[in-house]
Structure 1
């Protein structure tokens, strides 16, 4: 399908003259050649799609994704991960260095970049801050940047040494590198299985207090301010973290942050059934935290929504809750969760397509004639079944598997490829 005519799509491209209007879009050989209220064509080679009732938006970008390649391909390889990304409407992803070996040198960065070249999803590696993600010695950040790394973080391992984080911020500042912080004080959170609160007390499980996250947010804000450097907090989950970052932004500190889609809807009371698919890090918090996170999105404190896609084989999840691995797959369920959180379509597009690219300094897809197409179609009302047949990931660790969801991406156009996503 090289040529495409999309009819009657409602435009959700902020900052364009077409925003909010219903238009026809003609795509020829991957290039948008015509945008108008009505486009007439007389060519049998052009596929016509009726998009009445659907939105056309920039391709989403997920800046917190875990693929297993290299070394953990049984969880997810780049090919299967990108298939899940396309099904969720993502035309770009930033993959964290939680691999074996970790992405801590130009070799691993180049491997990922080369493996993804021909795919319809742009894959950007995030290089590790420390060698082997051990939190002891700074990795070759600039070398990885030259090879294609878009940011730096130790993945799901928080940088416990303040001195190391300070040096990373200062070093990356020299070449406009983006440093990511996974905010958790391990000495406070160590051994925790879920959020600390009423539910953890009821279940008799060690809890991870909000304080463990907030201490690290406060520390890294101080370090960023001291070094006059930028910092990004990934998957914040507490009301106090939102407030700390809100005040830091007002003060002029160069700070951004994101939130995982599941933290906008799910709370720690879901753990009562001991379903290990609800075991994530940071853990599911309380209703008060959920409401604060939603407010943080509304007022601009939180810059992006991510999936925190973390695939695991069955033996890592179908075990006792206490020993199960953290994480769920999420690429295909971000849009339904964001809609379920009551977020407006324009806000969803901003936090899933514009905000992540702005944080990482990547170009934002344009919606105008004579530019290469990078857009998706999605139906905010369409109901669909997320199950083993529609799941495109290699792994099945999601509490939403087997459930009916509302909101589905129906088409992805990127890198001169056109993909129908419904199954």
Structure 2
């Protein structure tokens, strides 16, 4: 599909046009010309990019769909539509489906279901059979079939010995484990952060210590085995400090943070809105600041959506029995802008670093390269509601609100969408 983009600012550190306002021509999925001014192409749609930024396509490291088995939450079709509307041309999806993605059969099913999509879908396999933390899953076979990493999908592996064996096994075939930072023994039945705020609300809190102990254990194990490890969804200032020191000490550790953890705080729980119930729980303002600082100094490698769709019956209930998670693919960009992140940092943490972590090819905005990019306007406002929401679910605290920062175009796999 031919496209001519007029007058857009390019934000790609790997492109010689980085920071320049240019016209970009795409023919049959290939960038054919970039210049200050290009003539209109026959049979090409013209997209006017004034005020917009052109970035390599975003890639999400951590989202959940329901396919296979839980398609009433989200299927491949609706999930990739939401991803595209959020600027993501690639996503890695967690294995907590029904059946669990714990063998090559489920990996192949997802890849076949997603074939031909504008959005690249990369399965993450389970570390253990049925996510039970008892027997290792068929990780090598899954990697051969196309799994890009392995995780327990928001569950922490409590057994130290099992985690040690999993790291050792994955090291043999260059597999990457994603871990969730939560010591369940310390968290118990707590569902919110432990602080003065949550005590006043009458809710039992999970201390930051529960996250930081798990982060420490995983760092020590990675160091012992000299194995790569990715800690997903960190949320506390203490976790940032631990990972910063580990990197300085040469441990092969990386991490990501969910976009909402940079903006939302525990004070938002005052009305007991279950749409703010997430795991890890929302923390305090000091944690927000530490996480943002960690992104800026390179401690935190990437930003994820932590997209978790749920049917209304799992969210429109009392806070204590509501399920964790929010739909987030379409709201990542507005939250990052609200957090004060600049364009260069957003591009690095959303488009480049996630692919580097998974050893995937990073798209470039350059002549001769396959077109894989996202255009967004950082000042354009839009309403997130039932008309603009592309997800099958609607569990977001930002639903029916005006947001600033809109994705206006995505292009990948010889397909594009204008929003």
TM bucket normalised to smaller? over 0.9
Determine helix, strand or coil for the equivalent of 1:92.
Answer: strand
Match of 1:10 in 2: 9
CA distance in 2 between counterparts of 1:41 and 1:281 reads: 49
SS of 2:246 mapped into structure 1: helix
Partner of 1:230: 228
- The match for 1:334 is 332
Distance in structure 2 (CA, Å) of the matches to 1:47 and 1:74: 36
Q: 2:180 maps to what in 1? A: 182
The CA deviation at 1:15 is: 2.5
SS of 1:297's equivalent?
helix
2:59 equivalent in structure 1: 61
Instruction: Give the drift of 1:42.
Output: 5.0
Shift of 1:41: 3.0
CA RMSD in angstroms comes to: 0.7
In structure 2, how many angstroms separate the alpha carbons of the residues matched to 1:277 and 1:199? 18
Aligned to 2:98: 100
In structure 1, the partner of 2:45 is 47
SS in 1 for 2:212: helix
Selected match of 1:78 from 70, 76, 79:
76
- Secondary structure class of the residue paired with 2:5: strand
Q: 1:350 corresponds to which residue? A: 348
Name the counterpart of 2:217: 219
3-state SS of paired residue (1:312): coil
Does residue 29 of structure 1 match 2:28? Answer: yes
Distance across 1 between alignment mates of 2:76 and 2:292: 31
Superposition TM-score, scaled by structure 2 size: 0.99
TM-score (norm 1): 0.98
1:90 aligns to what? Answer: 88
The equivalent of 1:256 in structure 2 is 254
Structure-1 separation of matches of 2:195 and 2:41: 64
3-state SS of 1:358 partner: helix
Deviations 1:123-181, CA, capped at 9 Å, x for gaps = 01100000000001111110000111000011011111111111111111111111101
Is the 2:176–2:229 contact (alpha carbons within 8 Å) kept by the matching residues of 1? yes
Aligned to 1:385: 383
Equivalence for 1:120: 118
SS at match of 1:124: strand
Q: Write the distance in 2 (CA, Å) between the matches of 1:265 and 1:385.
A: 19
In the TM superposition, residue 242 of structure 1 has moved relative to its aligned partner by 0.2
Change over 3 Å in CA distance of 1:211–1:38 after alignment to 2? same
| Residue in structure 2 matching 1:310, options 308, 311, 314 | 308
Structure 2 gap ranges (5+): none
Q: Whole-Å Cα distance in 1 between the matches of residues 40 and 401 of structure 2?
A: 41
Name the SS of the counterpart of 1:372 in structure 2.
coil
Tell me the CA shift for residue 370 of structure 1: 1.5
CA distance in 1, matches of 2:99, 2:41: 54
Q: Give the secondary structure class of the aligned counterpart of 2:299.
A: coil
The separation in 2 between residues aligned to 1:243 and 1:103, in whole angstroms, is 33
Gaps of 5+ in 1: none
Deviating above 3 A after TM superposition, structure 1's stretches of 4 or more consecutive aligned residues are none
